Structures are given as structure tokens and as C-alpha cells.
Amino acid sequence: MSKLDALRGKLESLGVDLYLEVYLPNIRYLTGFSGSNAFLFVGDSLSLFVSDSRYEEQSKGEVRDAEIFIYSTDVFECKERLPKKRLRLGIPEEHITCSFYKRLQEKLEDFEIVLVSDPVKEFRIRKDEDEIEKIKGAQSITDRIFTEILDIVEPGMTELDLAAEIEYRMKKFGAEKPSFETIVASGPHSALPHAKPRDVVIENETVLLMDFGNYYRGYASDMTRTVWVGKNPDREFVKIYDTVRRAQEKAEKEARPGMTGEEIDRIARDVIEGAGYGRYFGHSLGHGVGIEVHELPRISKTGKDPVLPGTVFTVEPGIYIPGFGGVRIEDLVVMTDHGVEILTESPKNLIKI
């Protein structure tokens, strides 16, 4: 069944005859289109992809399973291709602005506009083989970068320099771009889970946390490794590192299909709490990864849905001691029928450089 057919099968339960998709990651998922302006109408006997003249050639090459309509000045020129009878048209309330909603009501005055909750984000959770191959491709670039970076890092370079070296290799190795802003954080700064790289020198004998990922053929990767710069890791650091690593590996080993995100999160959290660091692990264990680097499911205390085979997600526990530093270890994994397959190939032993 095509992805569009799966959506088509859901229209009745949404209480609509037609659905208008405007969210570009969903449009990429449903049709393969990678440009920056598109609309997609889906009905029982309709699949109408709409874009502007900049994307005429590109959409012919990319768009699967839908008729293409190119407008010259106004997207609503496509109205001529829509059914003439009064229909209920569903639109995703999370992705439609109030001003576009008003325009829809004016321009498609024959339709009854119905706000629905994005029905596509749920479909996107479980990946097919082709999607998993793309994610593996993205992660293999990330792993290759990490290998090279280990040879480059040295005390005296700045966090910004190192971030530049990481991102430089993304395009060089065939990735499209970073999947989020690369994190390079050394010393006490590593205690901030979302640290931005600074124009600050990486010292000798200090912790260094690197969290990065890239897009490859439209799919994201995401990985974190924490290393020690120097020969003599601080004793507290070694203890924290060991705790995070045990938590991370236990969650990967014991996760099973059908467990909820909350249950998987709990495996790692129990290890960290058991070691007395519970209050220093404030974020979720992980999140889904695909066309977006943060997508469903939630692998956290609020993850109430079972994680089913085909789901790609991160496993990334961390311990962050304010003023001292932080450790996070993050793999990308895919749930299979038996447990998780780890897509990340970079080592997790404590690396000293």
C-alpha cells in the first residue's frame, strides 16, 4: 500500500472527504518532493500535488503517485482541479496559520473546512526498508566524521573550530546539511544539554561532548559521544561516564517491541537513579528520527504508545553536573521483531585524546 493510500484510508475516520497537506516534511514523506513550497490534496479518487514554477522540473522528477499542478501566481488556481460539489476538507491544525485558514475559507468557499489533528505524523513513526537504508546512510556519514575528528581534536583549538571541522565533512562525505546545530561543549559548558559551540579554547585534561548529525537523501542522523581530552580523566568523570554507558547499553539491550517509550526510558533512568545521579538526568531518553531529526515517538516519561518494529529512535541518557560538566552517549537504533538494532558504529569505550 502506498503512503498516500494509507492516508486515504484514514479520511473517513477523520470525518472528511478531502485532506489538504501543507506541512513540508509530511509532503516529502507522502510524495518524495524535497522543495520548499508545496500543497497536496488527497481524496478517494484524487491526489493533487501543487507547487510553483520554480519547482516544475523538480516535481516531475520527484513526485510519486500524484498529479502535478503548477500555479503561476496563486496556489488557489488549482481550484479548477478540485471536485465541484460541496465537500468537507480537512486541514492539519498544527500546521495551518490563522491567516492561511482565512484565505482557505474565502477561496474555497464551496468547501466546509474542518480542522483535524495532523494524521500523517503517526504514519511516519514506523519506517519501511527504503527509509531505514537512508537513515543508515546518514548515520554512516556521522560515524565516518567522528572517526576523522578523533585524529583532529587537540587542546588549543576552539569549540567553534571543531564544529566547523565536523560540519565541513558532512558535505564532503555526501550529506546535504546538518540535521541540527552541531553541539561542541568542553569543560563545565558540557553540563548544558543544548550548549552552543563557543569561540573558547578546548583545554587539556577536560571533558568534551560532541552531538551532531546530518541529512542524507532527506533523512536525518543524530549521535553524541563524550571523550576526555588528556591522559588523566578525572575520577568523578570516569564514574559518571561508566554510569551513562551502563544506562545506555542496558536500554539498548533490554528494549523490546511493544514496550512503551516510558518503559524504555525507565530502563536507563533506573540505572542512573540507582547510581545516585537521578536529579542530573533531566531530559528524555530519546526521540524518533526520520525526515525530521525530532519526530514521534516520545521515548520519555510521557511516551504512552508501544514502540513497534520499524521505529527509528535515539537512546541518549546523560548526566549533567552544573559547574563540573556533562556526559551524554547517544546511539541511533531501529526496533526490530526481537529488540533494537544499533545503527551507530562509533565506539563507546572511554576515549582519551
Residue ranges in contact with a copy of itself by CB under 8 A = 54, 91, 93-99, 101-102, 115, 117, 160-161, 163-165, 167-172, 174, 177, 181, 193-194, 197, 199
- Our CB check for a copy of itself shows the closer of 151 and 199 to be 199
For residue 159, the minimal CB distance to a copy of itself (Å) is: 10
Beta strands at 219-220 and 214-216: parallel, antiparallel or unpaired? antiparallel
- Other residues' Cβ atoms within 10 Å of the Cβ of residue 85: 8
- Our CB check for a copy of itself shows the closer of 224 and 311 to be 224
CA distances (Å), 193 to each of 172, 279, 319, in order?
28, 14, 9
Pairwise CA distance, residues 279 & 287, whole Å:
20
For residue 115, the minimal CB distance to a copy of itself (Å) is: 5
Pairwise CA distance, residues 89 & 123, whole Å:
20
- Our CB check for a copy of itself shows the closer of 86 and 177 to be 177
For residue 238, the minimal CB distance to a copy of itself (Å) is: 28
For residue 215, the minimal CB distance to a copy of itself (Å) is: 11
For the residues of 238-301, what is the DSSP string, one character each? HHHHHHHHHHHHHHHHH--TT-BHHHHHHHHHHHHHHTT-GGG--S-SEEE-SSSSSEEEEEST
The verdict on whether omega for the bond into residue 309 sits within 30 degrees of 0, i.e. cis, is no
Q: Enter the DSSP assignment of 202.
A: P
- Our CB check for a copy of itself shows the closer of 50 and 166 to be 166
Degrees (nearest 5) of the Cα angle 224, 227, 229?
Answer: 145
For residue 63, the minimal CB distance to a copy of itself (Å) is: 17
Give the CB-side neighbour count of residue 84, counting CA atoms within 13 A.
1
For residue 339, the minimal CB distance to a copy of itself (Å) is: 32
Give the CB-side neighbour count of residue 218, counting CA atoms within 13 A.
19
- Our CB check for a copy of itself shows the closer of 143 and 165 to be 165
For residue 248, the minimal CB distance to a copy of itself (Å) is: 22
- Our CB check for a copy of itself shows the closer of 5 and 93 to be 93
- Our CB check for a copy of itself shows the closer of 170 and 315 to be 170
- Our CB check for a copy of itself shows the closer of 195 and 353 to be 195
- Other residues' Cβ atoms within 10 Å of the Cβ of residue 313: 29
For residue 256, the minimal CB distance to a copy of itself (Å) is: 30
CA distances (Å), 50 to each of 32, 54, 243, in order?
13, 12, 52
- Other residues' Cβ atoms within 10 Å of the Cβ of residue 93: 12
